[in-house]
Structure 1
Amino acid sequence: MAEEGETMSGAWSPDELRLLDAAAELEIAVERSDGSLRRWVPIWVVSAGGQVYVRTWYRRDTGWFGQALRTRRARIRVPGLEAAVTIEDVGAASAGVTVEVDAVYRAKYGHGGAESMVSATAVETTLRLDRQ
Structure 2
Amino acid sequence: MRTAGWTTDELERLGGAEELRVASLRQDGTQRPYVRVWVVRAGEHLYIRSAYGPENPWFRRAMASGSGRVKAAGLEPAVSFERAGDEVMAAVDAAYHAKYDRYGARIVSTVVGPDTWPLTLRVVPRQE
Same fold (TM over 0.5): yes
Distance 2:89 2:73 in 1: 27
- Equivalent residue for 2:54, pick from 46, 55, 59: 59
Which stretches of structure 1, 4 residues or longer, exceed 6 Å deviation after superposition?
Answer: none
Identity of matched residues, %: 35
Asked whether 1:103 is paired with 2:86, we answer: no
Distance 2:6 2:57 in 1: 26
- How big is the shift at 1:119? 2.8
> 1:83-118: per-residue Cα shift (whole Å, max 9, x none)?
00011012xx22x30000000000000112222210
Structure with bigger helix share is 2
Q: How many pairs are equivalent?
A: 122
Q: Which amino acid aligns with 2:27?
A: S
Instruction: Give the alignment's Cα RMSD to 1 decimal.
Output: 1.6
- How big is the shift at 1:67? 1.1
- Equivalent residue for 2:76, pick from 76, 82, 95: 82
Q: Which amino acid aligns with 1:109?
A: Y
Q: Scaled by the length of structure 1, what TM-score is found?
A: 0.85
Q: Scaled by the length of structure 2, what TM-score is found?
A: 0.88
Unaligned runs of 5+ in 1: none
